Structure 1
Amino acid sequence: MEFTAIPGVGEKTAASLARLDDAERALRDGDVAALARAPGLTEGRAAAIARGAIRRRHGDDGDFLATDRSRELYEDVLGLLQARTQTTYAEKRLETLFPSSTESRIEEVRAFAADAMKRDVDDAVLEALSGVSPLTSPPTQRVRERCLATADAERYAEAEAAYPELSVEIVEDARDVAELARSYSTVVVLDESFAGIDVEGDVRVRPDALEHPEDIVPERLLDFFAVNRGRLEASAEVHEAAGMEPTCSLAELRDGLSRVDDDGELVGDEELARLTAAVDDVDAAVSTAESVANDHLRDAIREQDVTIEGTDFLSLVEQGARVDSLLDRELADEYDDALTKAREHVVDSLSLQSGETGPVDRLFPSDPSFPVDHREDVAARLETELGAARDQRAARLKADLATDLGDLRDPVEELVRDALELDVELAVARFATEFDCVMPEFGHAGFAIEGGRSPLLDVPFEEVDPVDYEVSGVTLLSGVNSGGKTSTLDLVGVVVLLAQMGLPVPAERVELGVVEELHYYEKSQGTLDAGAFESTLRDFATLTEGAANRLVLVDELESITEPGASAKIIAGILEELDGQETTAVFVSHLAGGIREAAEFPVAVDGIEAVGLEDGELQVNRSPVKDHLARSTPELIVEKLAGESGNAFYDRLLKKF
């Protein structure tokens, strides 16, 4: 795919996308998380790129939202969907849904939405989803007990690039390899020419090392599972709670996770734990062993029957007098016993096994001396040998575990992706359920809404009065103040937006035709000055030209200037729109004057107030077709005429 062909993608972003393993799939599926892994891309930017790729694939020009109010309404609708997500991923993923006039895109999302609406919304699933987020790559960790070795400069560069975790060393011969083996627990030689090398230490000749990172640096895979433990466990819980078929064995996944801690270190192996503890405790064990030997000799000296009192003898030797010959002559057996006890203490406290005690036998000098001191070089050797045994066992276990987890690496990507996509589906399902939505039907010219309720009103949704409204062509909508004209426009806008996003709509039934653009003009605040008035007229002049098949919603355009001029201007705009394949609803209090000024029979619908009750308007929220609604002042005059008997009110009522 030519990434620069996607709207909004330049050379730099295209280069970042090219570094992804599955960029084309991610663009096709709208996988915001995968796209956000590209260097320099945030999730918001990834969502924008995904939208651009979808538009390009379906030939969508992106011009559907033609006015500021149209875009605001879309953001409001999108916000309602996003508020029903559990994950940031789903919130960003929903941004790839947009209203389109392209049939293929609408049908694509309708198929997705139809499946989503079949989902059962379960609290256990939602709770599990709250712990899911896209998988992340752990930072590179240095592995210091292992190195790579090669005699080839080109191979050296490849190894450094492939394994930033390891040191890579240049060697010329077996002597160099042997030297490395004294410094590292494991040396991996990359050159086949070293096959059959015989040197002391853990030296492996692996010409294929660059192709098998799970063998050479199993820590890389273990760190991945360790850092993503919570995400993986939550995704497994989501699949179980939702009854979804997982992409891998959850038992095997949990078993693998149980064998590595949050730092990527192995757990659960008793032998590795023993060796690790032994390495950590060498210094303490040797120090205590000295005390054991010296305590034994002190007791022996105190009890010894020699020419000088034992206590005096002890005082002398502790002052540094040479007593080697005395010890050798008088306490040789006791000295041997002391060393035996010291060695036994080291073996027992470190839980050493057969084959590991060689350095312990040389840890203390065999020639009698007091106090007894251990040999530093032998203690260091003991610690080195135990450390090498620990590292080699850890490497073997890590390689085994990496082999097991390696088979799960790709499946867990899908496991998490499926859980995240479920959150997107459940957001649509929750929206559809909470707002009593149905899938709309296409084919009707204009729109026909039955039992529609706007989800944007500032009242509980269950208290919103249902609205039936049908329009084909150009129509004026009249009605009393606060009767619901603006909310009716919003309802129409919301229904058309959702329908052309491919999503369910908040109504009992909706039939409509696909429109190319949505032009929604909200009510202006007060009369405009000359410059703003001219700008507004230019907007409407543009509206009357160009593409047909639009939906135009206008709220009280008459507020832009004086009522008399407004009626004429609106009449002129309606005349132009009537000649196009356009559906338009203009809310106006000047319906009578506009109808008189227009050169064609303008349809007028009315939201009728049925009366006043305790000072409150009682309104039929569904517009009545071909009906000019009465104004609020008329209703008040009618109420007074009926109540007071004053002829003034009767005469005034006749003026309406």
Structure 2
Amino acid sequence: MEFTAIPGVGAKTAAALAELDDAETALRSGDVARIARAPKITEGRAAAIARAAVRREHGDEGGFLATDRADEIYDDALSLLQARAVTEYGKKRLQTFFPSTSDSRIEEVRTFATAAMERDPTPELLEALAGVEPLEPAEGIRVRERCVATTDAERYAEAKAALPELPVEVIDERRELGELGRSYSTVYVLDAAFAGIDVDGDVRVVPDALEHPEEFVPERTLTFFAENREPLLAAAEVHEVAGTQPDCDLDSLRAALDRVDEEGGVVGDAKLERLEVAVDDLDAAVSTAESVGNDHLRDAIGEQDVTIEGTDFLSLVEQGARVDSLLSRELADDYDRAVELAREHIVESLDLDSGEAEFVERVFGGEPEFPLEHNEEAVSRLRTELTADRDRRANQLETELAAELRELREPAASMVESALELDVELAVSRFARDFDCVLPTLAGSGFEIEGGRSPLLDVPFEAVDPVDYGVEGVTLLSGVNSGGKTSTLDLVGLIAVLAHMGLPVPAESARVGRVSELHYYAKSQGTLDAGAFESTLREFGDLVEGESGRLVLVDELESITEPGASAKIIAGILEELHDQGASAVFVSHLADGIREAAGFDVAVDGIEAVGLVDGELRVDRSPKKDHLARSTPELIVEKLAGESEGGFYRDLLEKF
């Protein structure tokens, strides 16, 4: 995919996207979270890029939401969906759903929504989803105990790029390789010329190492699984609760994760654990061994029968008197026993094997002395050997476990991705269930809604009265104040937006014609001044010159100027829309004036108030076709006329 071919993506953004692993898949799938990992791309920008990529794939040039109020309706719909997603991924992923004019895009989402509506968002499933999040790559890994060696400068650069986690050394000769073998637990040599060379340490000639670097840095795989342990286990639980079959074998995954610690090390191996303890406890063991040996010598010296009392002799010794010859002559056996006890303590306390125990021979011994002291150089050599053995054992286990986990990595990633996508499906399912939605029919022109209820009202959804309403062509919608005209427009706009997103709509049934653009104009706040009035007229001038297939919703346009002028302006706009075959609903209190000014028979529907009860309107929320609804003042005058014996209110009522 050519990134710059995506609308709105320039050279800098394309370069940032190119740094992502498999950016093309992320763009095609609308993976906003992964796109946002690209350098300097925010989540909002990532959502816009994902939408643009989807539009390009389906040949959708955008422009469905033609006005600010139409944008607001879409934002409200998106917010309702996002509120029903559990994961942050799900919320971001839902941003890639948008109203489209592309049949292929709408059908793609309808297929998705049909399956989603069958999902059962149980509390157990939603709780399991709470722990799922996109997997993060393992970064910042540094390995100090192993290195890569080469004689070639070009190979050096390649190794630095392919194996950034390992030190890379340049060598010229065999001697330098031997020095590396003594300094590192393992040396990987890239030059075949060194094959068969005999040097100290674990030196391996692997000319093809750069072709499969992950085998030489098992920490990559282990750290990835260690850092992503929780989302992996959560995703596994999601699939079990949902009863779905992931690509990953869950038993194998859990068993492998049990063998990886939080830092990416291997656990559960007795030999490695023994060596780790031995390295950590070596100094303490040597110190205690000295005490064990000296305690034995102290007891032996105190019991000696010599010319000087044993206790006095001990005092002299402790004051630093030379006693080498005395120890050699009088206490040779006891000194040897003290050394033996000290060595045994180290071997036993550190659980050393026979090969490791050989290095302990040099820690204590030599010329008799008191107090008995260890040989620091021998201790250092023992520490080096134990450390090297530990690192080699760890590397062996890590290599084996990493090879096993590499086989699980792709299936595990797929398992997490499908769990995250399930959250998106469940969000649609919860939306459909919460608002009693159905998939609408997309056919014909205009719209037909049965039992529609708007979730945008500031009342509990259960308290919303259902609305039946349909329009073909251009229609005026009349009705009393606070009777539900604006909420009816909102419902129509919302259903049109959701239908063109390919999603279910809040109605018992609905048919929506194919809409090229949604123009929704909210009620103006007061009469406009001359400049604002001219700007508004220009906006409607552009509207009537637009393409066919538009749905136009206008709320009380008459408020922009004087009623007489407003009626003429609205009539002129309706005439143009009528001639173009557009679908439109204009809410207005000037139906009579508009009809009189219009050059065609304007249809008028009405939201009828059925009366006043305790000073409050009782309204039939479903507009009546071909009916001019009575105004609130008329209803009040009618009520007063019925209560009064005089003729004033009856005469006043006749004027309506």
Q: One fold, TM greater than 0.5?
A: yes
**Distance in 1 separating the partners of 2:98 and 2:215:** 46
Match of 1:645 in 2: 645
Structure-2 separation of matches of 1:111 and 1:486 = 32
Q: Which residue of 2 aligns with 1:536?
A: 536
Say yes or no: does 1:293 pair with 2:293. yes
Paired positions, count: 656
Structure 2 residue matching 1:365: 3-state secondary structure: coil
Between the aligned partners of 2:248 and 2:150, the Cα distance in structure 1 is 38
Q: Which amino acid aligns with 1:161?
A: A
SS in 2 for 1:120: coil
Matched, 1:213 2:227: no
AA of the residue aligned to 1:568: K
Amino acid at match of 1:386: L
Q: Distance in 1 between matches of 2:42 and 2:453?
A: 36
Kindly report which structure 2 residues correspond to 1:37-52, keeping only aligned pairs within 5 A, or say none.
Answer: 37-52=37-52
- Is residue 140–residue 164 contact of structure 1 (8 Å, CA) maintained in 2? no
Q: 1:26 is matched with which residue?
A: 26
Q: CA RMSD in A?
A: 1.0
Q: Which residue of 1 aligns with 2:199?
A: 199
Q: Which residue of 1 aligns with 2:551?
A: 551
| Cα distance in structure 2, aligned partners of 1:565 and 1:33 | 52
Structure 1 CA distance for aligned equivalents of residues 33 and 573 of structure 2:
47
Partner of 1:598: 598
Q: Secondary structure at the match of 1:579?
A: helix
1: CA distance, partners of 2:43 / 2:222: 26
Q: Distance in 1 between matches of 2:260 and 2:43?
A: 30
What is the CA distance between 1:530 and its match in structure 2? 1.1
Counterpart for residue 485 of structure 1: 485
Q: Distance in 2 between matches of 1:42 and 1:171?
A: 45
Aligned equivalent of 1:636:
636
Give, in angstroms, the shift of residue 121 of structure 1: 1.1
Task: Give the drift of 1:426.
Answer: 0.5
The residue that corresponds to 2:523 in the other structure is 523
Shift of 1:449: 0.3
Specify every segment of 5 or more residues in structure 1 that has no aligned partner in the other structure, as ranges. Answer: none
* 1:399 corresponding residue in structure 2: 399
Query: What residue number does 1:513 align with?
Result: 513
Q: Higher mean Cα deviation, 41-50 or 470-479?
A: 41-50
Correspondence for 1:231: 231
CA distance in 1, matches of 2:288, 2:552: 90
Q: How far apart, in 1, do the equivalents of 2:97 and 2:322 lie?
A: 91
Deviation at 1:11, TM superposition (A): 0.7
Map 1:392-431; keep pairs closer than 5 Å: 392-431=392-431
1:436 corresponds to 2:459: no
In structure 1, the residue corresponding to 2:580 is in which secondary structure? coil
- What amino acid sits opposite 2:283 in the alignment? D
The correspondence of residues 129-148 of structure 1 with structure 2, limited to 5 A, is 129-148=129-148
Aligned to 2:100: 100
Cα drift, residue 576 of structure 1: 1.2
Q: Determine the C-alpha separation between the residues in 1 that align with 2:575 and 2:300.
A: 121
CA deviations over 1:599-644 (Å, ceiling 9, x no partner): 2111000000000111111100000000000001111111111112
Question: Which digits, 9 at most, give the CA deviation of each residue in 1:459-518, with x for residues without a partner?
Answer: 111110000000011100000011000000000000000000000000011112111000
Counterpart Cα distance in 2 of 1:424 and 1:149: 49
**What's the counterpart of residue 174 of structure 1?**
174
Residue 32 of structure 1 and its aligned partner are, at CA, apart by 2.2
Once the two structures are TM-superposed, the CA of residue 16 in structure 1 deviates from its matched residue by 2.3
Mapped to 2, the partners of 1:40 and 1:92 lie a distance apart of 17
Query: Equivalent residue of 1:356, what SS?
Result: helix
The alpha carbon displacement at 1:43 in A equals 3.1
Deviates more, 1:59-68 or 1:358-367: 358-367
List runs of 5+ in structure 2 lacking aligned partners.
Answer: none
Aligned equivalents of 1:338 and 1:627: distance in 2?
Answer: 114
Other-structure match for 2:279: 279
**Alignment partner, residue 88 of structure 1:** 88
Query: Given residue 562 of structure 1, which amino acid in structure 2 is its aligned partner?
Result: E
Q: Distance in 1 between matches of 2:490 and 2:601?
A: 26
What is the distance in 1 between the residues matched to 2:439 and 2:88? 26
* Matched-pair identity in %: 71
In 1: Cα distance, 2:94 partner to 2:442 partner = 23
Aligned counterparts of 2:195 and 2:125: Cα–Cα separation in 1? 55
In the TM superposition, residue 34 of structure 1 has moved relative to its aligned partner by 3.2
CA distance in 1, matches of 2:45, 2:221: 29
- Alpha-carbon shift at residue 213 of structure 1 (Å): 2.3
**Shift of the alpha carbon at 1:318?**
1.0
For the 8 Å contact 1:214–1:403, the answer to whether it is kept is no
Shift of 1:422: 0.5
Alpha-carbon shift at residue 120 of structure 1 (Å): 1.2
> What displacement does 1:126 show?
0.8
Which residue of structure 1 lines up, in the alignment, with residue 10 of structure 2? 10
Of the structure 1 ranges 252-261 and 486-495, higher mean CA displacement relative to structure 2 is found in 252-261
Q: Is it true that 1:468 corresponds to 2:468 in the alignment? A: yes
Matched AA of 1:434: D
Q: Quick one: distance in 1 between partners of 2:214 and 2:563? A: 78
SS at match of 2:147: strand
SS in 2 for 1:329: helix
CA drift at 1:173: 2.4
Displacement of 1:73: 0.8
CA distance in 1, matches of 2:161, 2:382: 35
Q: What is the distance in 1 between the residues matched to 2:278 and 2:141?
A: 24
Partner of 1:353: 353
| Aligned-partner Cα distance in 1 for 2:19–2:360 | 54
- Equivalent pair of 1:214/1:406 in contact (CA under 8 Å): no
Q: TM-score, normalised by structure 2?
A: 0.99
Q: What does 1:302-313 align with in structure 2 at a 5 Å threshold?
A: 302-313=302-313
> Within 5 Å, which residues of 2 pair with 1:576-587?
576-587=576-587
Q: Give the Å deviation of 1:140.
A: 2.0
CA separation in 2, counterparts of 1:36 and 1:231?
19
1:266 CA displacement: 1.2
Do structure 1's residue 445 and structure 2's residue 412 form an aligned pair? no
3-state secondary structure, aligned to 2:328: helix
Q: Please state whether the residue corresponding to 1:510 is helix, strand or coil.
A: strand
Q: Distance in 1 between matches of 2:50 and 2:201?
A: 53
1:113-134 CA-partner distances (Å, limit 9, x unpaired): 1111111111111111111111
- Cα deviation 1:341-376 (Å, max 9, x = unaligned): 111111111111111111211111332100111000
| CA distance in 2: counterparts of 1:560 and 1:35, whole angstroms | 45
Please name the residue that 1:575 is paired with.
575
Larger mean CA deviation between 620-629 and 124-133 belongs to: 124-133
Partner of 1:408, secondary structure, is helix
* Aligned-partner Cα distance in 1 for 2:264–2:518: 54
CA distance in 1, matches of 2:576, 2:499: 27
Matched, 1:111 2:105: no
Q: Secondary structure at the match of 2:478?
A: strand
CA displacement at 1:577 relative to structure 2: 1.0
Distance in 2 between the 1:445 and 1:194 partners? Answer: 79
C-alpha deviation, 1:102, in angstroms: 1.5
SS class of match (2:149): strand
Q: Distance in 2 between matches of 1:549 and 1:172?
A: 77
